[in-house]
């Protein structure tokens, strides 16, 4: 894509406050897009995610935090306080999966993109570490993009709504290497499923372990603030 | 579909408070589904829509009203107070179109359906009167259903998420005839784009005129409460 630096195209970038979406935002900037950061307050237990999202999105053209309470539907350990967040997940679709989360997130990104007359949406889904989540797979993203091109004015008129997933086939180490090359401040990001009130990571949940292993494998110093140092 | 009356399958039904979705809800009941009614408070100007939705959904297993403020994205006369609602729409995509509205609505219905372990979603889209809305067409619904079967646990495991659009090819008169046969109380519904504080219809907007013509063509008495009688 050849971008005109004096008139950059707009992109909506989903920013959670985690490591992955911080990397995606840096990639979208690096590709020449004017970035509109979208965060969702969806009833996740970890409010520190949104504090992190504000830091991560600070350099964007605009950052919106939209309230959509998915916890009222129940069904996930991340939003339903009656389900424990496990330290070890069995195979299959994990209990931390939030029903239709990425579908809802991408739909809201699409609504904003259409109102902005933007054709590009970035999301940090990853099929390597989240193989149990149906809505992190390439076939889901392709189906969403096909639907988006039938759902919207820009899609119907121009057919070029594009869902970008630059991380989808990267390992955590590859993501961290790419982000470090773009000077992403990973200290600002939170990956832990249940950080403490100061946003410090538990070092024990699946998400913490995948993250710590990623820094080690990438040979990048881990700037994560932990409650207690990882074992 | 053969339904066991002692153990009816669950369906999520999108209920706006308008004539169309009231008819769809009656149809879903009539087909033997246990109905979970979902209404969205999305920043529409007409708050009386939600009052109507509560009356319409009164006989459902459960009725949820979910807040999702689409007005913060702008871009539609129905949510953006800086755009006038026209009395006469030119051809093409109308200014009353809300960006990606049905995509967002169906995504939230899908999230609830997945948490309920339901496979069926009903929506009152209509391609006859709303031909200018990209997200009211059968090809959009088919693409959404294909996406939903890749996005969700039930879709991936069973592949039978089904988006029902029983009105899609019906004229307004046919919808009203069908609903009258199912004893739908159309007096409880609101179709007007800008009703007054008591939910009384303007009789002048596109939506009012389509509705009034529908009752006339169906030879069903029009129970709509108007601010002034239609011309």
For every residue of B115-169, DSSP letters joined together read: HHT--EEE----TTTTTT-GGGSHHHHHHHHHHHHHHSHHHHHH---EEE-TTTT
Q: What percent of chain B has pLDDT over 70?
A: 84
**Which of B96, B99, B106, B148 is the best substitution to test chain A (most A C-beta atoms within 10 A)?**
B99
CB B150 to CB A156 under 8 A?
no
Residues 6+ apart with CB under 8 A from B23: B124, B167, B175, B176, B178, B179, B182, B184
pLDDT recorded at residue B80: 58
Region B87-111: mean pLDDT is 76
User: Is there a contact between A75 and B114 if contact means CB atoms under 8 Å apart?
Assistant: yes
Q: List chain A residues with CB under 8 Å of B150.
A: 134-135, 137, 139-140, 143
Contact in structure between B207 and B88 (CB atoms under 8 Å): no
Asked if B10 contacts B120 with a C-beta cutoff of 8 angstroms, the reply is: yes
Residues of A in contact with B143 (CB under 8 A): 143, 146-147, 150-151
Instruction: Quickly tell me which residue has 């066991």 as its tokens.
Output: B4
d(CA B34, CA B198): 31
pLDDT in tens, B174-193: 999 999 999 999 999 998 88
- pLDDT score, position B91: 54
* Contact call for A134 and B111, based on CB within 8 A: no
User: Which pLDDT score is estimated for A88?
Assistant: 55
Q: DSSP label at A137? A: S
Torsion angle (degrees, nearest 10) of CA B169, B27, B105, B134: 0
With contacts defined as CB-CB under 8 Å, which chain A residues touch B139? 150
Looking at the structure, give the CATH architecture of the domain made up of residues A10-218.
3-Layer(aba) Sandwich (3.40)
How does pLDDT run along chain A (231 residues), one tens digit per residue? 555 667 899 999 999 999 999 999 999 999 999 999 999 988 765 678 888 999 999 999 999 999 888 888 876 655 655 555 555 554 555 555 678 899 999 999 999 999 899 999 999 999 886 667 889 999 999 999 999 999 988 888 888 999 999 999 999 999 999 999 999 999 999 988 888 878 889 999 888 999 999 999 999 999 999 998 766
pLDDT at residue A40 in the model: 92
Three-class SS state of A227: coil
Alpha-carbon span B32 to B94, nearest angstrom: 36
Q: A110, A152 in Cβ contact below 8 A?
A: yes
- Dihedral, CA of residue A21, residue A67, residue B161 and residue A158, to nearest 10: -70
Higher pLDDT, A6 or B140: B140
Q: Do B66 and A69 touch (CB under 8 A)?
A: yes
In angstroms, rounded to a whole number, what is the distance separating the alpha carbons of residues A58 and A211? 23
pLDDT of res. A81: 57
pLDDT of residue A9: 96
Angle subtended by helix axes B19-30 and B48-56, to nearest 10: 20
The number of angstroms, rounded, from the C-alpha of B72 to the middle of its chain's C-alpha atoms is 22
Say yes or no for a CB contact (<8 Å) between B111 and A73. yes
Average pLDDT over residues B14-24: 95
Under a CB-based contact definition with an 8 Å cutoff, are residues A108 and A38 in contact?
yes
Q: How distant is the Cα of A93 from the closest Cα of chain B, in angstroms? A: 7
Six token digits for residue B221: 């008495």
Nearest one of B115, B120, B72 to A76, comparing CA atoms: B115
Nearest CA in chain B to A153: B134
Q: Is the ipTM of this complex over 0.90?
A: no
Which residues of B fall within a CB distance of 8 Å from A150? 134-135, 137, 139-140, 143
Mean pLDDT of B17-33: 96
Q: Comparing C-alpha atoms, which of B76, B42, B150, B69 is closest to residue A147?
A: B150
> Measured between alpha carbons, how far is A138 from A167 in angstroms, rounded to an integer?
11
First to last CA, chain B: 45
Identify which has the larger pLDDT, B150 or A72.
B150
Residue (of A116, A121, A125) closest to A20 by Cα position: A125
How is chain B split into domains, by residue range? 10-218
pLDDT band at B82 (very low <50, low <70, confident <90, very high): low
Cβ distance of A150 and B156 shorter than 8 Å? no
How many C-beta atoms surround the C-beta of residue A2 within 10 A? 4
B94/A contact by beta carbon, under 8 A: no
Is the CB of A112 inside 8 Å of chain B's CB atoms? yes
Task: Tell me the C-alpha distance between B45 and B28, whole Å.
Answer: 28
Please tell me which residue of chain A has the smallest CA distance to B115: A75
What strands lie across the sheet with A62-67, from one edge to the other? A62-67, A34-41, A10-14, A120-122, A162-164
């Amino acid at each position: 894509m050849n971008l005109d630096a004096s008139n950059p195209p707009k992109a909506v970038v989903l920013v959670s406050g985690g490591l992955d979406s911080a990397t995606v935002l840096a990639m979208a900037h690096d590709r020449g897009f004017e970035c509109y950061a979208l965060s969702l307050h969806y009833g996740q237990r970890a409010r520190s995610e949104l504090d992190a999202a504000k830091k991560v999105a600070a350099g964007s053209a605009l950052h919106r935090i939209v309230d959509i309470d998915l916890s009222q539907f129940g069904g996930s350990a991340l939003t339903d306080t009656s389900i424990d967040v496990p330290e070890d997940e069995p195979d299959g679709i994990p209990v931390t999966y939030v029903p239709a989360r990425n579908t809802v997130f991408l739909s809201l990104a699409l609504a904003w993109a259409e109102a902005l007359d933007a054709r590009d949406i970035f999301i940090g889904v990853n099929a390597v570490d989240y193989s149990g989540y149906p809505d992190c797979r390439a076939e889901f993203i392709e189906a969403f993009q096909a639907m988006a091109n039938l759902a919207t004015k820009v899609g119907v008129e121009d057919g070029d709504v594009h869902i970008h997933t630059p991380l989808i086939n990267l390992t955590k180490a590859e993501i961290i290497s790419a982000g470090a090359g773009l000077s992403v401040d990973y200290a600002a990001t939170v990956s832990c499923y249940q950080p403490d009130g100061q946003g410090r990571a538990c070092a024990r949940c699946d998400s913490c372990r995948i993250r710590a292993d990623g820094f080690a494998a990438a040979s990048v110093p881990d700037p994560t603030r932990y409650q207690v140092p990882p074992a």
